């Protein structure tokens, strides 16, 4: 696994990150052949894990960070354990669904994919899920977008994979598309500012002594946001496919991925890196 800046700060992450819509877990369960075991890799605080537990007999949820798991939501059908994506404790041929939500850009993916093939039942589904920056009222979000850009020196290279919704990933599985709802929240300025302070780049900038830069943008956000709440959405991107052991070489990007990549690169917001 690549060095992951989220190995600390688990309680803050759990408290202030937006949670996934229940429809995401329902949609994922709807494309699996069976609903025995779901394995959630890089589970963080278990946001997706507990949603999957409503549709599967059991969920095994793994994260390499004890700090992240310390903030995990307890559920009788979810078993949490500290483990990297490249060395999963799950049994061979046991998983009906394998997910990685907002985490796969940190993985050593060739090694992770080897583990996926080991633990997957024939025809199991693998879903790599991500979301980019929020969309909503442009004027209200402008100070946060400016902060995002100002943090450019501290964003890790893996952030580009999030910005492009994983379209650059090699994905050697039988890929298909799945429509899911965006994450949607009605937030006031305090909630929004708490969220951006979970950004890995902001934490690194703060450690580098850039508190004045951060506070300048957060102060601008108070005036731009105004009183009350605003609706904010995070569109969800996904690479999803079936684990077909007989597929010998799908390491090159699929036609679906190439189409998605072209579409993402054509969007103005990609250049803006909101």
Residue 268: per-residue pLDDT: 40
Report residue 266 CA to chain centroid gap.
Answer: 22
Q: Which of 263, 15, 242, 18 is nearest to 134 (CA)?
A: 18
Per-residue pLDDT of the chain (274 residues; tens, 9 = 90+): 445 444 444 577 678 899 999 999 999 999 999 999 999 999 999 999 999 999 999 999 999 999 889 989 899 999 999 999 999 999 999 999 999 999 999 999 999 999 999 999 999 999 999 998 999 999 999 999 999 999 999 999 999 999 999 999 999 999 999 999 999 999 999 999 999 999 999 999 999 999 999 999 999 999 999 999 999 999 999 999 999 874 444 444 554 555 554 444 444 443 333 3
Q: Which fold has domain 5-132+156-183+235-265?
A: Rossmann fold (3.40.50)
Alpha helices in the chain (DSSP H): 10-16, 22-30, 47-52, 66-70, 109-119, 138-150, 159-163, 189-196, 200-207, 211-225, 255-265, 268-272
Residue 16: per-residue pLDDT: 87
Residue 187: per-residue pLDDT: 97
Total-model pTM: 0.85
Q: Which of 232, 116, 241, 259 is nearest to 175 (CA)?
A: 241
């Amino acid at each position: 696994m690549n060095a992951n800046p989220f190995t600390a700060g688990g309680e803050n992450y759990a408290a202030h990150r937006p949670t996934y819509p229940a429809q995401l877990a329902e949609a994922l369960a709807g494309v699996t052949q069976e609903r025995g075991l779901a394995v959630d890799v890089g589970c963080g605080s278990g946001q997706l894990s507990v949603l999957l537990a409503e549709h599967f007999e059991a969920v095994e949820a793994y994260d390499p960070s004890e700090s992240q798991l310390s903030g995990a939501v307890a559920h009788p059908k979810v078993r949490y354990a500290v483990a990297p994506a490249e060395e999963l404790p799950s049994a061979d041929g046991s998983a009906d669904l394998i997910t990685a939500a907002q985490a796969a850009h940190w993985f050593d993916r060739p090694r992770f994919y080897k583990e996926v093939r080991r633990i997957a039942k024939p025809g199991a589904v693998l879903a790599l899920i991500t979301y980019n920056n929020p969309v909503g009222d442009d004027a209200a979000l402008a100070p946060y977008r400016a902060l995002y850009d100002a943090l450019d020196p501290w964003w890790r290279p893996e952030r580009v994979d999030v910005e492009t919704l994983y379209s650059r990933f090699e994905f050697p599985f039988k890929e298909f598309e799945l429509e899911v709802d965006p994450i949607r929240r009605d937030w006031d300025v305090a909630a929004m500012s708490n969220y951006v302070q979970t950004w890995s780049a902001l934490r690194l900038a703060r450690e580098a002594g850039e508190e004045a830069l951060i506070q300048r943008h957060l102060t601008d956000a108070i005036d731009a946001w105004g009183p009350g709440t605003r609706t904010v959405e995070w569109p969800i991107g996904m690479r999803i496919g079936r684990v077909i052991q007989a597929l010998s070489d799908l390491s090159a990007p699929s036609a679906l991925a190439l189409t998605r990549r072209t579409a993402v690169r054509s969007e103005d917001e990609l250049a803006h890196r909101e």
